[in-house]
Amino acid sequence: AENIGVRALEVYFPSRYVDQVELEQHDGVSAGKYTIGLGQSKMAFCDDREDISSVCLTVVQSFMEKYNVSYSDIGRLEVGTETIIDKSKSTKTVLMKLFEESGNFNVEGIDTTNACYGGTSALFNACQWMDSSAWDGRLALVVAGDIAVYASGNARPSGGCGVVCMLVAPDAPLALEFPLRGTFMENIYDFYKPNMSSEFPTVDGPLSVTSYVRAVDYAYMAYLEKLEKIDGEKNASLDSVDYVVFHSPYTKQVVKGFGRMAYNDFLRSPDAPQFADVQQFKDIAREDSYTNKVLEKAFINVSKQTFGAKTKPSLLAASNIGNMYTGSVFFGLASLLTEVSSADLQGKRVALFSYGSGCAASMYSFRVRGDTTKIAEALNLTSRLDSRTKVSPSDFEQIMALREKTHNALEYEPQGDVAQLFPGTFYLQKIDSMWRRAYGRT
C-alpha cells in the first residue's frame, strides 16, 4: 500500500465547560494565572454519565455515520488511552459492541497505555500493520482520548476531556513519513497513576514540565538526524518542517516546547542570523538549561513569529477544551486542518510531538498530499466548540465531587442529566452487581 496515513478523523468532546477566567476568580488565584500563565480559556468536563467507554463509543459511531464507513470494512481497531476503568477488559472490546450488527468480529488490535502517548503507539501500530505482510486489505481505526481530571488544587485547571477517531488507510491526505521518527523514553516519576482507587494521577508538576522539554530535545534531535540521514537534508532545522503540532497539557507548555526546538537549532548552528541576540546562552550546559527561565524566555521570543506560523493554528481545541491526554496531539491535528486551508496545506510537512509522562515521547511527521476540505467541514470544530454550555465553577466542583465519590461504584445508577449531552452521545445507564456497564445513546 502507498501513502498510508490518516484519511479522515472525527472528534468528540463534552457539551459542557468551565470558563478559566471564572475559575481563577473562584479559586482565588491571581487574575491571568490560568488564562495567561497556562494559556487556557475553557475546560471541558463530564459528569458521571460518561466514562472512557462511552466517549469512545460516541466518537467511533459518529465517525462511521459521518463518513458512511461500514463496520465490515474494518480489519483493525486500536485504542490509546490512560483512563482505565478495568485492569483486564480493554476499551477495544467494549467498542466491539458497535460491530455486532455487521457480523464482523475479525478485528485485530487492543488498548495501548502509557500516559498521553498511547494514541501515538496505536497509530504507529495501525500504520505498520497496513505496511506489512500481515495486512489483509481492510481499513484501520485508531481511537485516542481521555477524561483528564486532577484532584482539586493547582493541577485541576489543566484538566479536560476529548477523544478522536482516525481512519488509517492507503492514499491518505495525511501520509505518514514512515522512517522519519525520533523517540525518547526513560524511567521517570513525573505523572503516574499508582492509586487504583482514584481517578486522579499523582503529579510532580515541576518535574513533568522539565521532562516534557527534555523529551522535546531528544526526540527532535533524533528526528533531525533521520531527516539528514534518510532524506539527505543538510543542516536540518525548524525550516525543514512547515507545521509542528504538540501534545498540549496546556498551551503555554507548547509555546515552551516550540522555543526549545529553536534552542536546539541554536545549539546546532549558533551563528545562524536569527540567533544574533542570544549568543550569551552558548556556553550553558544543556542539562543546566531546563530550569533557566531567562533562557526559556529568550528562545520563546526568538521563535515567536515562527511559532505563530507553524504551531499556533493547531491550538484551537487545546485552549478551548484543555488536556485530552492521548487525544491532545490529534486534536492539534484537527485544529490545524480547521485553521489552515487545504490549498495552503498541500505538499507541506506536518511534524507531531507526542509526550506521555513516565516517559515516552516521539517526533514524527505527515506529508499533506490530498484535499483536506471535506475533513475540516465534517469536523465542524469551531461551531461545535461554540455550541457548548458554560457551567459555573461551583457547579463544576460539585460534579467533580460526584465523580470522585462514585468512582469504582458497584450497583450504581448515574445521576447526571442525559438531556445535557449532545445528540448522538453514548452514556452510562448503570453499573450492575458484577461491575458490568450498560450504555444508552441520546
> Where in the sequence numbering do the catalytic residues fall?
82, 116, 247
Applying CB under 6 A, which of residues 63, 117, 212, 218 lies at the interface with ligand ACO?
A: 212
Applying CB under 6 A, which of residues 22, 27, 37, 402 lies at the interface with ligand ACO?
A: 37
Q: Which is nearer to ligand ACO, 188 or 267 (CB)?
A: 188
List the x/- string, 156-185, binding to ligand ACO by CB under 6 A.
--x---------------------------
Question: In whole angstroms, what is the distance from residue 184 CA to residue 97 CA?
Answer: 36
Instruction: Tell me: does residue 89 bind ligand ACO (CB under 6 A).
Output: no
Instruction: Tell me: does residue 254 bind ligand ACO (CB under 6 A).
Output: no
Q: Which is nearer to ligand ACO, 135 or 200 (CB)?
A: 200
CB of 150 vs ligand ACO, minimal distance in Å: 6
What is the number of the residue whose Cβ is closest to ligand ACO? 37
CB of 234 vs ligand ACO, minimal distance in Å: 33
Among the listed ranges 7-15, 30-38, 313-321, 399-407, the one in contact with ligand ACO (CB under 6 A) is: 30-38
Q: Which is nearer to ligand ACO, 246 or 427 (CB)?
A: 246
Instruction: Tell me: does residue 155 bind ligand ACO (CB under 6 A).
Output: yes
Which helix or strand (DSSP H or E) is residue 437 part of?
strand 437-441
Applying CB under 6 A, which of residues 2, 28, 30, 434 lies at the interface with ligand ACO?
A: 30
Q: Which is nearer to ligand ACO, 30 or 187 (CB)?
A: 30
Please give the sequence-ordered ranges of beta strands (E in DSSP) within 217-319, or none if there are none. 243-246
Question: In whole angstroms, what is the distance from residue 158 CA to residue 38 CA?
Answer: 8
* Count of C-beta atoms within a 10 Å radius of residue 438: 9
Among the listed ranges 36-44, 99-107, 125-133, 217-225, the one in contact with ligand ACO (CB under 6 A) is: 36-44
Q: Which is nearer to ligand ACO, 155 or 316 (CB)?
A: 155
Amino acid in position 307: F
Applying CB under 6 A, which of residues 5, 160, 182, 249 lies at the interface with ligand ACO?
A: 249
Instruction: Give the position of cell 536540518.
Output: 236
Q: Which is nearer to ligand ACO, 345 or 361 (CB)?
A: 361
Instruction: Tell me: does residue 31 bind ligand ACO (CB under 6 A).
Output: yes
Which residues in the 295-324 window bind ligand ACO by CB under 6 A? none
Instruction: Tell me: does residue 83 bind ligand ACO (CB under 6 A).
Output: no
Applying CB under 6 A, which of residues 91, 121, 253, 354 lies at the interface with ligand ACO?
A: 253
Applying CB under 6 A, which of residues 326, 357, 365, 425 lies at the interface with ligand ACO?
A: 357
Applying CB under 6 A, which of residues 120, 208, 264, 326 lies at the interface with ligand ACO?
A: 208
Residues 351 and 311: beta-carbon distance below 8 Å: no
Strand partners for 169: 5
Q: Which is nearer to ligand ACO, 162 or 370 (CB)?
A: 162
CB of 105 vs ligand ACO, minimal distance in Å: 35
Applying CB under 6 A, which of residues 1, 21, 36, 230 lies at the interface with ligand ACO?
A: 36
Interface residues with ligand ACO (CB under 6 A) are 30-33, 36-38, 116, 154-155, 158, 191, 203, 205, 208-209, 212, 249, 253, 357
